[in-house]
Amino acid sequence: MRASKAEIALYLEGHWQEDLLFVLKQEQQGYEFCQQQMAECDQQLQQYLQQREDRSQGASLPEETRKGRLQKKKKGKPQFDLRAELFRLSGTDLTRIDGLDVLTATTVLSEAGSDMNKWADENHFVSWLRLCPDNRISGDKVMGKGRLPTNNRASTALKMAASTLRASNSYLGAQFRRLRSKLGAPVAIKAMAAKLARWVYRMLRYGMQFVDRGAGFYETPTPQAADRPSEVESCRVRIPHC
């Protein structure tokens, strides 16, 4: 709230009925109970993460950088350093990927795990998330396109992360705005969610580091611009449980 405590106290002065004061007391007690439950949940989660294997190999947590990235204040933030615990658990800092915050990284790791060897390559991982195009192909020609519905929480989290790139002054933000202008918002969100998933796979399996080159680098015309591959990467891999 922008108002100070003194201003709020002044606004609360008045003639209050007894029943309304009782309701206010009930609401206050309910709020405090929910806060206590959340604190206990955070404590339990912290203990669980500390019991997991340390895959950081003694490496120090990279400094958090937000240059050019959209900063958002999220409610329900854990009461401990969740980013440090996830780094120790996975051995890499997924929050360095533009669009991914610590809660999104937590959702992806809780659904997919930190071991990417379960998928042969990143295309299999994107297919498992059902973020690949559902193209009906015959004779190497696309005869039709469809959508792959999913209730995977990791896929939903990556799509929400991709949608935040619209206001990001970063390389991925510039890519998203370009795709949105050409293909529309729904297709652009799904395509960028697939790109985020590929970066998650590369960082967890190969230890690659994400380095943001900035929106200017993407938007500046270069002689190689004509040879730049399309960002809508097709994934024709199908796995039995997809």
Q: What is the pLDDT of residue 212?
A: 80
**Of 29 and 99, more confident:** 29
> What is the pTM (predicted TM-score) of this model?
0.75
Residue 146 has pLDDT above 80, yes or no: no
pLDDT higher than 50, residue 84: yes
Give the per-residue pLDDT at 190.
92
Per DSSP, what are the bridge partners of residue 138? 141
- Which residues are bridge partners to 146 per DSSP? 134
pLDDT, mean of residues 90-117: 91
pLDDT of residue 213: 78
* pLDDT of the residue at 242: 38
Q: What is the mean pLDDT of residues 101-112?
A: 92
Between CA 232 and CA 145 the distance in angstroms is: 14
Of the pLDDT bands very low, low, confident and very high (cuts 50, 70, 90), residue 228 is very low
Residue type, 131: L
With a cut of 60, say whether residue 241 has pLDDT above it. Answer: no
Residue 159: the pLDDT is 93
Model confidence at 51: pLDDT above 60: yes
Query: Which residues does 178 contact at the CB level (< 8 Å), separation at least 6?
Result: 218, 231
Q: What distance separates the 2 farthest-apart alpha carbons in the chain?
A: 79
- How many helices (H) and strands (E) the chain has is answered by 9, 2
Residue that has been written with the tokens 């891999």 in this structure = 237
At 236, give phi and psi (nearest 5°).
Answer: -95, 5
For residue 124, name the pLDDT band (cuts at 50, 70, 90): very high
| Lowest-confidence region among 45-59, 95-109, 127-141, 155-169 | 127-141
Classified as helix, coil or strand, 138 is strand
How far lies 195's CA from each of 85, 99, 136, 231, in Å?
25, 11, 22, 8
Q: What is the pLDDT of residues 31-43, one digit of tens each?
A: 999 999 999 999 9
Determine whether 2 is exposed, middle or buried from the number of CB atoms within 10 Å of its CB (0-12, 13-18, 19+).
exposed
Rounded mean pLDDT, 111-128: 92
